[in-house]
């Protein structure tokens, strides 16, 4: 069965469709997860399989999903992955400061995220700030950066032309670069 048809069934509340959909989208979700984990998170201890499973579970729990098409589904998956990574970074940052840190929950393999937790959180905060200024530009960044979508797929997902998506992408990158430079000064 085609992915779009399954997505329509999911939108109607068919939980069995989610189970049929998973094997069909699993490899693409793994590639999205790899894109996410490769960006600034080289020391991330969350593996792509865990990220895919957590994102998919989050999407299953979403009430009344309305996936318009395959691109829209992957865009929502990318957003879910971003939220998971940011939450994960916040937990690691809290642990670094001593919050809920004890011998019982200490895992030496998970300590490496401390090096990038602040960057992940900063980028998330900047993206939220950009969203207040221009929601569409923020959506373009989220789809391109976190979702690894092409300009064409980003445009399709947002219902805009590829040239508009590209223009928003360039403007947003410039804005983010400026904000990151301010932070480093």
Burial 75-104 (b: 16+ CB within 10 A, else e): bbbbbbbbebbbebbeebbebeeeeeeeee
Contact 4, 69 (CB under 8 A): yes
The whole-chain average pLDDT of the chain stands at: 76
Under the banding of pLDDT at 50, 70 and 90, the label for residue 95 is: low
- At 5, is the secondary structure helix, strand, or coil? helix
Note the pLDDT of residue 84: 85
Could you report the per-residue pLDDT of 60-78, keeping only the tens digit for each?
777 667 777 777 788 888 8
Q: How many CB atoms lie within 10 A of CB 36?
A: 26
- At 37, is the secondary structure helix, strand, or coil? helix
Q: Which residue has the higher pLDDT, 166 or 85?
A: 166
Instruction: Enter the tokens of residue 163.
Output: 């040239």
What's the mean pLDDT in 9-22?
82
Under the banding of pLDDT at 50, 70 and 90, the label for residue 93 is: low
Under the banding of pLDDT at 50, 70 and 90, the label for residue 21 is: confident
Q: What are the residue boundaries of the structural domains of the chain, listed by start?
A: 3-184
Could you report the per-residue pLDDT of 107-155, keeping only the tens digit for each?
323 334 444 667 777 888 898 999 999 999 999 988 887 777 889 988 9
Which range of 57-66, 78-87, 153-162 scores highest in mean pLDDT? It is 153-162
Distances (CA, A) of 75 to 100, 118, 139, 148, 182: 33, 24, 9, 9, 30
Under the banding of pLDDT at 50, 70 and 90, the label for residue 104 is: very low
């Amino acid at each position: 069965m085609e992915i779009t048809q399954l997505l329509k069934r999911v939108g109607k509340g068919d939980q069995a469709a989610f189970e049929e959909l998973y094997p069909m989208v699993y490899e693409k979700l793994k590639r999205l997860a790899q894109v996410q984990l490769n960006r600034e998170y080289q020391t991330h201890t969350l593996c792509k399989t865990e990220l895919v499973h957590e994102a998919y579970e989050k999407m299953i729990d979403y009430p009344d999903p309305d996936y318009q098409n395959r691109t829209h589904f992957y865009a929502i998956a990318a957003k879910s992955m971003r939220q998971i990574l940011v939450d994960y970074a916040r937990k690691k940052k809290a642990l670094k400061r001593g919050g809920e840190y004890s011998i019982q929950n200490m895992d030496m393999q998970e300590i490496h995220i401390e090096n990038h937790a602040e960057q992940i959180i900063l980028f998330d905060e900047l993206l939220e700030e950009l969203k207040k200024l221009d929601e569409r530009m923020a959506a373009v960044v989220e789809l391109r950066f976190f979702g690894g979508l092409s300009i064409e797929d980003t445009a399709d997902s947002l219902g805009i032309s590829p040239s508009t998506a590209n223009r928003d992408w360039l403007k947003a990158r410039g804005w983010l670069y400026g904000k990151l430079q301010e932070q480093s000064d």
